[in-house]
Chains A and B, each alone.
Chain A
Amino acid sequence: MSTISLHGLPPDVREHPPIVLKLDERRGTIGMWLFIATEGALFLMLFVAYFYLAKGGWNWPLEEPPKLRMALPMLAVLLISSAVLHWGEKKVEAHAHRKGRAALSGTILIGLIFLVMQVFEYRDHLKSLTPQTSVYGSIFYTLTSFHALHLIVGLCILAYVLILPDLEPTQRSPHRPYHNAAIYWHFVDFVWIWIVLFLYVSPHFR
């Protein structure tokens, strides 16, 4: 953690003893964690709705469970993106900002690859199932598209951090943009793990 004091201010504002405490950089992170908590609750509700509807829906268990052919590689892609971003965060902490930005760009690229795979997965899926076909289609597409929307938001955040002048807290901006964006991205990846487990894998075991 970088220590920033207010010693560097011009002398005319220094008639009081300078502040020796460092600038607060935790507020933004606290806010992000609380935001992730409520987003987590949102996905929890969606999963609960999925199982609640599965209990009563007339087309469950499914005659043909969703194919894993695309979902598992998509999982691998997202896990790799998180690993890259984490490496980048370590580099930023070591003040290697160029590597940090490279990792950020890499993560964005991998995220875009995920979205392209999602499009192909949807095109394949839509041949046999639409959101209007049955309640299963409704919850399947709602859940996965909610995830995709969160992923797009995550991409916007990462792209924003990429164009920010500083990746670490400074006098002008006391937050930790790289870290806060990264924990949100990891959260979106984490949700995909559960989507794969619940929506893609579990129907094969009924």
Chain B
Amino acid sequence: MKSVLEDRLTGLWATPHTITGWLSTVDHKEVAKRYLATAMGFLLLGGIEALIMRLQLMTANRSLLTPEMYNQIFTMHGVTMIFWYAAPILSGFANYLIPLMIGARDMAFPRLNAFTYWSFLLSGLFLYASPFTGQSPHGGWFAYTPYTNVRYSPDLGIDFFALALIFLTISTTAGAINFLATIFHLRAPGMSISKMPLFLYSTSTISASIIFSLPALTVACVFLELDRRWGTHFFEVAWGGAPLLWQQLFWFFGHPWVYVVFLPATGMISMLLPVFSRRPIVGYPYVAIATVLTGVVGFGVWVHHMFAVGMSHLGMSFFSAASMTISIFTAIQVFAWLATVWTGRPVPTAAFKFAMGFIALLVIGGLNGIVTAVIPLDWQLHDTYFVVSHLHYVLVGTNLFPVFAAFYYWIPKITGRMMSERLGAWSFWLMFAGLNLAFFPMHVLGVMGMTRRIYTYPEGLGWGGMNMAATVGAYTLAAGIFISLWNFAVSRKKGAVAGRNPWKADSLEWAIDSPPAPYGSVHIPTVESRHPLWDSHDEDDDPDGKRILDQGRLTLATTALDAEPQSVARMPQDTVTPLLLALAMTVFFTVLLFKALWLALASVITMLVVVAVWLWPEKEKRPV
């Protein structure tokens, strides 16, 4: 009986192993794996750029790179890491895990999900077409005007930057809408918001942040592109424009974005740290509320990136105070994690080590962040290596380390194979030591006056030793990352078989096979507590088969707060239209680069036709 059911569900949900199937799948697990692999690819690209820069800065007066090349490389490094690695890798995890954690069979909009991936990939490729033209962006990841105006940056580099980002905002916004609709509409019956896994709190918080903050980036990039190629004057003082408008818009988006790449990582830590401490998390409601408040107050701190531009003291004091308020919410989470470990029985797996390393780095990065939130100190340290150190502690420490913790924790679910703990320990210690060796000396370099973004420095300033240390540290960090990748590759073939729940974890994704069947679970699970697998769990307690839903691609829709069963959601079939739409958009942005308006119009019409086909009512797929 069981296997007949499983065959029926597989027939409904599986994607055929053909090229068409591969291009048209809308399965969230397939999409998520691509997300993770692509984001890792961008991590490696950005990482190689960082290693090249560290070679250039290793000792004084090196000439590996010309100044212009150096500018392009640090810009591509920052843009790649912040936009095409840090957020997408978290979207990859969210994409894989959220439907499984809530017992749904897919995301709320599976086709939109496939489009989100394709447009993420293609916008990244669009950006990486720029080095092949020899005209990469060179204005830093925040591309301040007037330097990025066409007069000072005449080649296509900044156009690539602006158009690629507009393209990516479309993808990211679509993803945020999808996550919110999924989390608040498809949770398993009984999973009221007070019982949601904490990862869902962080993902829904950042999705809301994206919806309200990302348009600022879109508007800024549209203004920039109009100024550069279409003769408007938003940022040009001579015509009444305001260069500071760019900074205001960019940072209104930019600071919430910091939480976009941070909060889901904390959410993943809040999922896995309790599992390896063998107890529920301490202070679940406080962690949940702190997560949401971080997102909300994150909208009120953007000016702290701009303390050095000359503003009213009252305004600056407000933003300084708001910036310090955020540290309270972060501290709540940190103490909740520490208390969880302290009162639990820790199991020092590789994932646990990465999680603990993350807490240590977050504290360092948080404390040096408070230093820069103090305005007088900020004026001294602005645009020095102190800031470089701060932002790398925060971004590498609170994004990369949780991501690696998550890899060691969830890869067995994704591939069905365990990764080596011994290699994991090597990887962790190399990464942890390398990161500290690379970035701690930069605090001192910053105080000594080494400004960021210089391509070389003269001898005799006493900077040589610390720069050499930073370079050695960067390569050590890279070696640590490489060991984990190798560990992953080996585990695919030789790793021990994971089974359903190798870590004896508590959330629903561990109740099903590893790797999961295309449909997830045979019966839509029900939930009675925050830890369904630790407490009572009655996924199979469904004698009438009411929660099998095998009359088509179906999943259960529930109410937003209490998760009471409301209706049955019909999911769409596989289709190639999301890929076609993303391709048409790629053509659109490419021809805009060359101002070919007729071709742009043709691609827009193509997009409309593709969307019409995408949304057209489809024939139902019947069970076989």
Contact = CB atoms under 8 A, between A and B. Distances in A.
Contacts of B227: 138
Given A16-B550, A24-B567, A172-B618, A49 B234 contact: yes
Q: What band does the interface of chain B fall in when counting residues whose beta carbon is under 8 Å from A?
A: 35 or more
A21 B568 contact: yes
B570 A23 contact: yes
Given A41-B211, A49-B223, A132-B232, A58 B240 contact: yes
Given A24-B567, A172-B619, A38 B214 contact: yes
Nearest to B608: A156
B453 interface: no
Interface string B203-217: 000000001111110
Interface stretch (B326-334, B410-418, B477-485, B541-549): B541-549
B219 A132 contact: no
B617 A173 contact: yes
Interface string B604-624: 000010001001111110110
Q: What band does the interface of chain A fall in when counting residues whose beta carbon is under 8 Å from B?
A: 35 or more
Given A16-B545, A17-B546, A52-B242, A134 B233 contact: yes
B240 A45 contact: no
Interface of B is mostly: mixed
B568 A23 contact: yes
A91 to B, nearest CB: 21
Contacts of B568: 6, 19, 21-24
Interface in B160-186: 173, 176-178, 180-181, 184-185
A23 B216 CA distance: 37
A142 interface: yes
Contacts of B618: 172-173
Nearest to B560: A30
Nearest to B236: A135
B607 to A, nearest CB: 10
Nearest to B565: A21
Report which residue of A34, A137, A139, A174 has the largest number of chain B beta carbons within 10 angstroms of its beta carbon: A34
Contacts of B222: 142
A30 B248 CA distance: 31
A136 interface: yes
A38 B545 contact: no
A203 to B, nearest CB: 15
Given A24-B570, A136-B240, A34 B551 contact: no
Given A24-B557, A24-B568, A38-B212, A19 B551 contact: yes
Interface in B113-142: none
Interface string A67-111: 000000000000000000000000000000000000000000000
12 contacts: A13-B550, A13-B622, A16-B550, A24-B569, A25-B567, A26-B557, A26-B567, A34-B176, A44-B215, A53-B240, A138-B232, A156-B608
Interface of B: 108-109, 112, 173, 176-178, 180-181, 184-185, 211-216, 218-219, 222-223, 226-227, 230-234, 236, 239-242, 245, 248-249, 252, 544-546, 548-552, 554, 556-557, 565-570, 608, 612, 615-620, 622-623
